[in-house]
Structure 1
Amino acid sequence: MQKLVLGLILVTALQTGYAQDDLLSLVGKDTLKRARVTNAFKSSRVINGHSIEFLGKGVLDFRILHRFGEVSDGISNLFGLDQASMRIGLDYGLLNNLTVGVGRSNLGKELDGFIKFCPVWQSSGPGAFPFSVVLVGGVTLNTQSWSDTARKHYFSSRMAFYNELIIGRKFSERFSLQLSPVFVHRNLVELEKEENDVYALGIGARFKLTKRIAFVADYHYIVEGLDKDIYKDPLSVGFDIETGGHVFQLHFSNATGMNEKAFITNTTGDWGKGEVRFGFNLSRVFTVRRPRH
C-alpha cells in the first residue's frame, strides 16, 4: 500500500511538471514579440539635422531654435550675445512613423516645410532589424525682398529643395549613432560659378551622461557642390537636458542657418578661428489627439 501511494505521488509530480513546462512554453510564445527600439535620441532633431526619432501620432512639437552671434566678436559684442538668429517651427505626428513640419527663420525671412517617414524601425525580438531607415523631403522659400530690383525675378527662384536618407542605430542605452546622406538643390545661386546641386554626408551621435543629460554632436561633411575655401562643414556640439515635457538643448555651432538648405549650403564660420555661435533649442510637445485603443 505504501509503495502504491508513493507511485501515485511520483506520477502526479511528473504530470504537474510537464503541465508547468507546457504553460511556460505557451507564455514564452506569447511574450516574445517584435518590439520597436525607442529613445535613440531625445528629440526629432540631433541639433541642426533630423534624427531617427519621431513624434507620436497626434503629438505637436513647438520648437524654438536660437543662435547668437560669433563668440570671436569679443567683449564689444558680448561674445555674440548682442546678435541673434532664430527659427520657430511646428512639427506634427500624423502617424507614429510619419511627421510633417513647418518653420520660419528670420535669416533670409525663410519659410521651410518637410515630411519625414520611417519605413523600417530598429527592433528587438523575433525578426529583429538592426537599424532604422528614415526618409526626409523638404522645401524652403526665401521671402526676403530682392536686392536687384532692375532684374526680372521668378517665384521659383526663391525655392530650394532637399532630400535625405537617415540610417541610425541605438547601440546601447547610452550611445546612438546615425549617418545621413543629403542632397540639396537650389533653383538660384548667387554667383555663376556656384553649383545648384550640393551633396553632403551627415553624422549625428548621442551619448547619455545621466538620466536627464546627454552629449550630442551633429556634423555634415560637404562632399560636392561648394567652394571649400569659402564655405565650411557645419559642426555643432552640445547637451540635451530633459525637464519633464521640455527638451532644452545648449550648443555651439559654426552654422547660422537652421534648416537643411541654410546650414548645409551657407555655413562660413571656421571653428579654428573661433567663428562659432552659442545657441539653444527648446522643444515642447503637446498631445493634440490621443490615439484610440
Structure 2
Amino acid sequence: MLERLKIKLQYLLPRQGLTLLAGWGANKQAGWLSQLAIKSFVWYYKVDMKEAQHSELATYRSFNEFFVRRLADNARPIAAGEHLLVQPADGTISQLGTICNGKILQAKEHHYSLEALLAGNYLLAEEFKNGQFVTTYLAPRDYHRVHMPCDGTLREMIYVPGDLFSVNQLTSENITNLFARNERVICIFDTAFGSVAQILVGATIVGSIETVWESNINSAREGIIQRWTYPSADDEGAIKLEKGQEMGHFKLGSTVINLFASNKIHLAPHLSSESVARMGEPLAEAVMLEN
C-alpha cells in the first residue's frame, strides 16, 4: 500500500516546480541555515566525510558546495591497465548486461528502447546495437562527480528535455521507460574501445547537470532537444579526457548510464545487479585481451 502511494505521488507532485525550488535553495549561501541543512543531511544519510577533500562541514557555504564535494587525493585509486575500463561513479549498479533487440533492462520485467534513450537518433543507436550497458544509481549519500571509464575524445553532446521522476529502485520497478522519459545529457566519446556513451539522467530535485566543458546545461529547461558537436581528436580544440578524469557532476543525485559498442568489451564478471560501485575500480576489459 505504501509503495503504491509513493508511486502515485510521483505522478501527482509538481516535479518541475519542486526541482526549481530545491535547486534555488541548495545554491543559496544562507549561513547557519545552510549549515543546519548540511549537518542534518550528513547525519541522516551517514555520509563519510573522511573521504572528502574538505572534511570540515563549515568549509561549505551552500548545500550545493557540499553536495558536489571533491574526494581527498587517492581516495579512489584508478585501476591501471590500458585495456581496462573503470567505473565512472560511486553508487550501486542497478542493472548491466547486453543490449538485446534494441532493448535495455530497466528492472525485472521492465525494458526500454535504446533508440528512445538516445532521443530517437537511430543512427547513433546502431553504434550500440547488441553492445553492453551499465546503469549506476547514485544515492543521496554518494559522491556525485562522474568520471571517465577510459580515455576518450568528446564527439557530441545531446541535451534531452524530459520528466523528472525519481530514479530509485522503487520507481525503476514501477514506472515504464523511466530513463527514456526523464531529462538527460548524452555524451558520446570516441575511444580505443569504439563509441562509448555516458548518459547523465536527471530526476526530481536535481537542480542541474554540469560537465567540465559546458556548465549548467539544463538551467534554461526550454523543452527542446539541443545538440553540440566537437572537433575530432586530431583537430584543434578537441576535448580529450583521460581515464578517471572528471567529466561532470549532478547537483543532487541521479543515475549514470554507460553504453558500449558490440564486441568491444567484456564487463567484469564479479559485477552484477546491486553491486556496490566505486569510481576507479574495474568495470570492463577489452575483448582484444582474449583474442
Shorter-chain TM band: under 0.3
Which structure has the greater CA radius of gyration? 1
Give the structure with the larger helix fraction: 2
Greater RCO, CA 8 A, separation 6+: 2
Q: Choose between structure 1 and 2: higher strand proportion.
A: 1
